[in-house]
Amino acid sequence: MATMSYLDVDRFKLPPLSLPPLCTCPCRPISSQSLIIHRRCSRLSQIRLVFSRRKAVLRVSQNGLLPHRRVITAVAQAEPDRLDEGNAEKVLGYTEDVILESQQKVSQLKNRIIFGLGIGVAAGGVVLAGGWVFTVAFAAVVFAGAREYFELVRSRGITEGMTPPPRYVSRVCSIICALMPMFIMYRGHIDVSVTSAAFVVAMALLLQRGNPRFAQLSSAIFGLFYCGYLPCFWVKLRCGLAAPALNTSATWPFFLGGQAHWTVGLVATLISISSIIAADTFAFLGGKTFGRTPLTSISPKKTWEGTIVGFCGCILTSVILSKVFSWPTTLFSAMAFGVLNFFGSVFGDLTESMIKRDAGVKDSGSLIPGHGGILDRVDSYVFTGALAYSFIKTFLPLYGV
């Protein structure tokens, strides 16, 4: 038999085991006051359950597993008189459940890391490319996020308190949200298109059969605003601020646009996205290490300690990158930009958490293995693009160059 490892599982609150008259066969390699039960299962080559007069030991052979994987075994208190076969089966069942749960967590972590790195690399390439490449890719993300939003609105947890819009209206709204980024890239502005889209949706709801409800109108209009209008500011930020970042020392291949490729929009987008990632990462690490005080009932896992650490990490990242790209030119502007990115990311995250809480779901979808849905990944970016664009256009003279 391969190397064994043992784990006390009194924490599983297993039912008490009773022993029958113990086997005293001299051929057993263990104590004469012990009983051995063998069992094979699909994932383990062999399970060997040994009952002694004081305790029961579940030994698991590792022949069917990878050499580096630790195998979980169980130790449970047993009575010295009788063995209940049903209880023994429960012990084996509990052990298999623990092993399966451990394997699922490892697999989920691998998927999270692999897909997270893939998404990060792809998103970085799209942001650097800019133009229609960025806009079309962004429109696809918006469409997927809008579909998830309207599915949340139609979920049982929300429909118990309101009437959701008809399915055809939800689909039309998702398509309109996806067209908004491309429209703003083509026309340069979006205000009229949003007003027109809201009018079309309102007219479709009011003319439907049955009794139109205000809840249908409000959820549909908010969907256009949340999933369509707000994300469009990322297109205005990345592609609309075409002023060259004159002080930036970063280089770019000549055949891909040369130094002129580094615009205020590109630099601001890179700093904003990096600050949001830093805020989420530092908040997670800070919450795991120091988290004690809950931030809000909307998201019980968030703590004040983690939020403060995330706030500091966001500002620090913004200041460091402002020195790297030489934009914005003042320390105060860089810190203010980091503060704005932080609050936009936090309240965007909390808004999506509120929607999921009312819907009664953990994730907005299952499109990204290990991460959930699109909204679970981009909730921190929904409000941030609008805040960053407004800050640069309104409060930074000469776009901060």
pLDDT tens digits for range 335-366? 999 999 999 999 999 999 999 988 888 888 87
* Burial class of 363 by CB neighbour count within 10 A (0 to 12, 13 to 18, 19+): middle
Question: Distance (Å, rounded) from C-alpha 340 to C-alpha 319?
Answer: 13
Question: Can you tell me the distance from the alpha carbon of 400 to that of 335, in angstroms, rounded to the nearest whole number?
Answer: 13
**What digits encode the pLDDT tens for the residues 132-142?**
999 999 999 99
Q: What confidence tier does 209 reach under pLDDT thresholds 50, 70, 90?
A: confident
Total number of domains in the chain: 3
Q: How far apart are CA 246 and CA 262, in angstroms?
A: 8
299 and 397 housed in the same domain:
yes
**Are 228 and 247 found together in one domain?**
no
Do 234 and 245 sit in the same domain of this protein?
no
Q: Does residue 85 lie within any of the structural domains?
A: yes
- Residue carrying the six token digits 């105060």: 332
Same domain, 157 and 229: yes
Question: Residue 109 above 60 pLDDT?
Answer: yes
The verdict on 185 and 311 lying in the same domain is no
d(CA 376, CA 353): 9
Tens digits of per-residue pLDDT, 137-170? 999 999 999 999 999 998 877 877 778 888 888 9
- Entry pTM: 0.73
Confidence band of 281 (pLDDT split at 50, 70, 90): very high
Same domain flag for 383 and 259: yes
Range of the domain at 274: 241-401
Domain boundary among 217, 238, 259: 238
As a whole number of Å, the CA-based R_g of the chain is 29
* Strand-pair category, 74-79 with 17-18: parallel
Maximum C-alpha span of the chain: 92
Give the separation between CA 325 and CA 337, rounded to whole angstroms: 14
Cα distances (angstroms) measured from residue 233 to each of 120, 191, 320, 389, 390: 20, 11, 24, 7, 9
Predicted pLDDT at 5: 39
Average pLDDT over residues 35-63: 44
Residues in Cβ contact with 92 at an 8 Å cutoff, skipping those fewer than 6 apart: 39, 41, 47, 49, 58
pLDDT (0 to 100) of residue 358:
87
How many percent of the chain have pLDDT more than 90? 41
Give mean pLDDT, residues 273-287.
94
pLDDT tier, 89 (very low <50, low <70, confident <90, very high otherwise): low
Instruction: Report how far apart, in Å, the C-alpha atoms of 314 and of each of 119, 287, 336, 338 are.
Output: 21, 15, 11, 6
**Quick one: which of 141, 120, 139, 122 has its CA closest to 367?**
141
> Does residue 123 lie within any of the structural domains?
no
